[in-house]
Amino acid sequence: MQEDNRSLHDGPAARIDELCRELDRHNRLYHELDAPEISDEAYDALFRELVRLEESHPELKRPDSPTLRVGGKTLPYLETRPHRERMYGLDNVFSAGEWDAFAQRAERGLAGTGAAAGGWWADPKLDGLACELTYEDGILTQALTRGDGEVGEVVTEAMRTIRNVPLRLKGTLLPELLEVRGEVLMFRREFEELNRQQASAGQKTFANPRNAAAGSLRQLDPRITARRRLRFLAYSLGAAGSSRPLPWKTHGDVLAALSAMGFETPPLGTLCASPQEARDYFARIEARRDSLPFEIDGVVYKVSSLEAQQALGFTARAPRFAVAWKFTSRKAETRLRAISVQVGRTGVLTPVAELEPVSLGGVMVSRATLHNEDEIRRLDLRPGDAVIIQRAGDVIPDVVGPVLEKRPAGLPPFTFPRRCPACGSEARRMPGESAWRCLNLSCPAVTMRSITHFVSKAGLDVEGIGTKWIGILIASGRVKSPADLFTLAKDDLMGFERMGETSAANFIDALAEARRSATLQRFIAALGIRMVGEQTARTLAAHFRDMDELAAASQEELLALPDIGGEVAGSIRAFFETGSNRELLARLKSLGLWPVSQKPEEASALPLQGVRILFTGTLSRPRDEYRKLAEEAGAQVMSGVSKKLDFLVAGDAPGSKLEKARALGIRILDEDGFRALLTAGPGSPAER
Ligand code: IVH
């Protein structure tokens, strides 16, 4: 190219300048404007030319050269250095009330100082990794992670590879020293792409974009950082040193200046004139939370006036002029103390995370299921790890994954036990299954679980027979299966310590009552057939007269029923094909526990057949009693409010379920309405 030669004649310095300018321009066209003007090959050729020139003239290498963006030398470890000015954290608030209190405290703090807040600057709280960039005479000279706020890790090389980090600030009259603080993020799309790549390369995946961002930045080899698409969003300043007074009066001014210097700043930021406006802003951002291209975990509010910020100052931990209003947490971080292994009623060994107790959305959580061995391996979870847990919906919390950057050195991986932790016999993992199982048919833990389930609310719902007594009876050898319970006599029981005559009589009565009133649905559910829960038990009870009929049903017959798929049908067949199960059924039958269902046509004549109902608040009678009434009328009693719900029966102090049901347009009844429903069916009973 003609031009190349001409500038080369002017000397390598001019050509280096020109290449830097051109490469920067193409970078911007490509990354910011998404409108490249040259091919990747042409770009690479320019880039290689610059690398060669810089190699032969190292003294001419510019401090903002685009070659710095590919990542320099591999580091032996991450060095640490103190921040010039401490990087404070933020105090959190979790509700409108707490926010108001914070805002009022700040206003009071300003009284008499002569400074006015000037409103609140609000922007999303970015869920990434806080960092500080140091610019000397406009050139990026150092980058530190927040670390503990006093001392951070040096990540200068890695930070230079982030495309939207200016290597040289734009503009004139720049302060000689300027420290810019912000958050390093990985956008959702890049995060998903990275995890796909990692998975297909057989490498570890990241639990969330924040971990991915932190893991990608804190690399000893900055070339790895260069390949990860990170972004830096600037939201405040650290130290600034200038011979001229700094011209900025408000936080909005600072952001505008940052953006003029070439930084990207958090989107959706705005000035709220009053705490009330700030509340509205929170609601708007929370509503948009999931549609943003990156993860946020709340809103940050800062007193707008810099003079007022200074007047308010800091507590030991955090500024008095800024606060984070966090979304009610669906995620939390804690430590994995241990992984224990529980034996389920089918002999499956289920790993359970034993956690340091942590509050998650207002509830203390100390355990979470880990599902199976593969899940532990997939997450690469190790006892001792810092872990992120989350609750999706209202269910049991899940472990999202370890926080790898907090993993203590030398933490050994978890090995799944090869023996049943309850009875010590061999455990085995069947081909094609993810579960390890205890092979001992009379494993006491399996017996314990299956009997407990049999009498539990999910099963026959026998009152007053708790795990303690089941444990004692099993340990004595007197009870080995659910059927044995029904052979117990009062005298058997009175032989045990702390079992008086009345307790023994109650115990026997409760069993007799359960035997008398058991419905086929509850009986099926009580047996604990794999994959047959309450819903499937209801379907089966509606179609078969008794267990003999069900036992005789073919796979095809089962598949023809609503909501029964191949796996469930297979599991039902397998249950009846197992000798010990047939023996158990025969014994139960001989003991008189053999419920017979109404014929299907009778069943559908139940007043509340197919109706979904939920009770909430304080009712005039025990909730269980209402539940039984509803179930006997054919209704399904739900545990949470969802669109599927037909009726919510609300007692006193009904709380959030009532609000949610109202919002979903679900019909709401009081107790009288419910009684009317029982007799008349779901016509149009009185609604609240
Ligand atoms: S301003 C003195 N704005 O959240 C105020 N911080 O949990 C300085 N963060 O350490 C911070 N998004 O690193 C500010 N829009 C935002 C933010 C934000 C995320 C970080 C910040 C802070 C942490 C506190």
- CATH number of the CATH domain containing 227: 3.30.470.30
Task: Assess whether 487 and 614 both reside in one domain.
Answer: no
Q: Which of 228-232, 239-243, 600-604 has the lowest mean pLDDT?
A: 600-604
pLDDT, residue 485, reads: 95
Q: Which of 125-134, 480-489, 651-660 has the lowest mean pLDDT?
A: 651-660
pLDDT, residue 605, reads: 66
What is the CA(148)–ligand 1 centre distance, in A?
Answer: 14
Q: What is the pLDDT of residues 413-431, one digit of tens each?
A: 999 999 999 999 999 987 8
The highest-confidence range among 257-271, 500-514, 591-605, by mean pLDDT, is 257-271
Which among 125, 282, 285 is the best mutation to test ligand 1's pocket, defined by most ligand atoms within 8 Å of the CB? 125
Q: What is the mean pLDDT of residues 598-622?
A: 76
Determine which residue's CA is closest to atom 17 belonging to ligand 1.
Answer: 125
- CATH number of the CATH domain containing 33: 1.10.287.610
Q: State phi, psi for 303 to the nearest 5 degrees.
A: -55, 130
90 Cα nearest atom in ligand 1: 24
pLDDT, residue 552, reads: 95
Tell me whether residue 76 is in a domain. Answer: no
Query: Furthest-apart CA pair in the chain: how many Å?
Result: 110
Task: Assess whether 310 and 345 both reside in one domain.
Answer: no
Tell me whether residue 413 is in a domain. Answer: no
pLDDT, residue 565, reads: 86
What is the CA(261)–ligand 1 centre distance, in A?
Answer: 20
Which among 126, 146, 281, 309 is the best mutation to test ligand 1's pocket, defined by most ligand atoms within 8 Å of the CB? 126
pLDDT, residue 167, reads: 93
366, HSE (Cβ side, Cα atoms, 13 Å):
2
Task: Assess whether 561 and 465 both reside in one domain.
Answer: yes
Tell me whether residue 129 is in a domain. Answer: yes
Determine which residue's CA is closest to atom 18 belonging to ligand 1.
Answer: 125
8 pLDDT more than 80: no
pLDDT, residue 548, reads: 94
Task: Assess whether 138 and 286 both reside in one domain.
Answer: yes
* pLDDT more than 90, % of the chain: 51
178 pLDDT more than 90: yes
What span, in angstroms and rounded, lies between the C-alpha atoms of 373 and 417?
Answer: 10
590 pLDDT more than 90: yes
**Structural domain count of the chain:** 5
Instruction: Assign 30 to helix, strand or coil.
Output: helix
Q: What is the pLDDT of residues 33-43, one digit of tens each?
A: 667 788 878 88
Which residue shows structure tokens 């009846």? 576
pLDDT, residue 639, reads: 83
The β-bridge relationship of strands 612-616 and 436-438 is unpaired
Task: Assess whether 510 and 644 both reside in one domain.
Answer: no
Which among 179, 300, 303, 326 is the best mutation to test ligand 1's pocket, defined by most ligand atoms within 8 Å of the CB? 300
| Residue 128: pLDDT band with limits 50, 70, 90 | very high
pTM: 0.52
What is the CA(281)–ligand 1 centre distance, in A?
Answer: 17
- CATH number of the CATH domain containing 610: 3.40.50.10190
User: Is 125 a residue of the active site?
Assistant: yes
165 pLDDT more than 90: yes
Task: Assess whether 172 and 277 both reside in one domain.
Answer: yes
| Residue 684: pLDDT band with limits 50, 70, 90 | very low
Determine which residue's CA is closest to atom 16 belonging to ligand 1.
Answer: 125
Q: What is the mean pLDDT of residues 104-118?
A: 93
Determine which residue's CA is closest to atom 5 belonging to ligand 1.
Answer: 322
Q: What is the DSSP string of 168-183?
A: B--SSS--SEEEEEEE
Q: What is the pLDDT of residues 610-619, one digit of tens each?
A: 788 999 988 8
Task: Assess whether 165 and 242 both reside in one domain.
Answer: yes
pLDDT, residue 339, reads: 96
Tell me whether residue 418 is in a domain. Answer: no
Tell me whether residue 82 is in a domain. Answer: no
Q: For residue 442, which amino acid is it? A: S
125 Cα nearest atom in ligand 1: 12
Query: Under 8 Å CB-to-CB from 656, ≥6 apart: which residues?
Result: none
pLDDT, residue 34, reads: 65
Task: Assess whether 279 and 130 both reside in one domain.
Answer: yes
Q: Which of 326, 350, 372 is the last residue of a domain?
A: 326
Task: Assess whether 44 and 186 both reside in one domain.
Answer: no
What is the CA(360)–ligand 1 centre distance, in A?
Answer: 21
More confident residue, 72 or 335: 335
Q: What is the mean pLDDT of residues 558-566?
A: 86
What is the CA(222)–ligand 1 centre distance, in A?
Answer: 25
Which residue shows structure tokens 């909005």? 252
Q: Which of 533, 565, 590 is the last residue of a domain?
A: 590
State the residue range of the domain holding 54: 2-67
The β-bridge relationship of strands 270-272 and 296-303 is unpaired
| Residue 467: pLDDT band with limits 50, 70, 90 | confident
Tell me whether residue 13 is in a domain. Answer: yes
What span, in angstroms and rounded, lies between the C-alpha atoms of 312 and 106?
Answer: 7
* Neighbour-count burial for 577-612, b at 16+ CB within 10 Å, e otherwise: eeeeeeebbebbeebebbbebbeeeebeebbbbebb
What span, in angstroms and rounded, lies between the C-alpha atoms of 559 and 681?
Answer: 30
Q: How many C-beta neighbours within 10 Å does residue 442 have?
A: 11
402 pLDDT more than 70: yes
Tell me whether residue 687 is in a domain. Answer: no
89 Cα nearest atom in ligand 1: 10
Choice among 73, 125, 628, 643 that is catalytic: 125
235 Cα nearest atom in ligand 1: 3
What is the CA(119)–ligand 1 centre distance, in A?
Answer: 18
395 pLDDT more than 60: no
Tell me whether residue 433 is in a domain. Answer: no
321 Cα nearest atom in ligand 1: 2
Pocket of ligand 1 (CB under 6 A): 88-90, 123, 125-126, 130, 183, 235-236, 266, 300, 319, 322, 324
Which among 94, 235, 289, 304 is the best mutation to test ligand 1's pocket, defined by most ligand atoms within 8 Å of the CB? 235
| Residue 269: pLDDT band with limits 50, 70, 90 | very high
Give the N- to C-terminal CA distance of the chain in Å, as an integer: 82
More confident residue, 233 or 172: 233
72 pLDDT more than 70: no
What is the CA(287)–ligand 1 centre distance, in A?
Answer: 20
pLDDT, residue 599, reads: 53
Q: Which of 122-126, 138-142, 185-189, 567-571 has the lowest mean pLDDT?
A: 567-571
Task: Assess whether 647 and 537 both reside in one domain.
Answer: no
Q: What is the mean pLDDT of residues 641-666?
A: 87
What is the CA(300)–ligand 1 centre distance, in A?
Answer: 7
Q: Which of 590, 615, 641 is the last residue of a domain?
A: 590
Determine which residue's CA is closest to atom 10 belonging to ligand 1.
Answer: 89
pLDDT, residue 2, reads: 44
Task: Assess whether 238 and 130 both reside in one domain.
Answer: yes
623 pLDDT more than 50: yes
318 Cα nearest atom in ligand 1: 2
Q: What is the pLDDT of residues 336-367, one digit of tens each?
A: 999 999 998 888 999 999 999 998 866 788 99
Pull the structure tokens for residue 267.
Answer: 């989107």
**Average per-residue pLDDT for the chain:** 88
- CATH number of the CATH domain containing 464: 1.10.150.20
92 Cα nearest atom in ligand 1: 7
What is the CA(87)–ligand 1 centre distance, in A?
Answer: 10
Determine which residue's CA is closest to atom 22 belonging to ligand 1.
Answer: 89
| Residue 31: pLDDT band with limits 50, 70, 90 | low
More confident residue, 682 or 337: 337
Task: Assess whether 336 and 312 both reside in one domain.
Answer: no
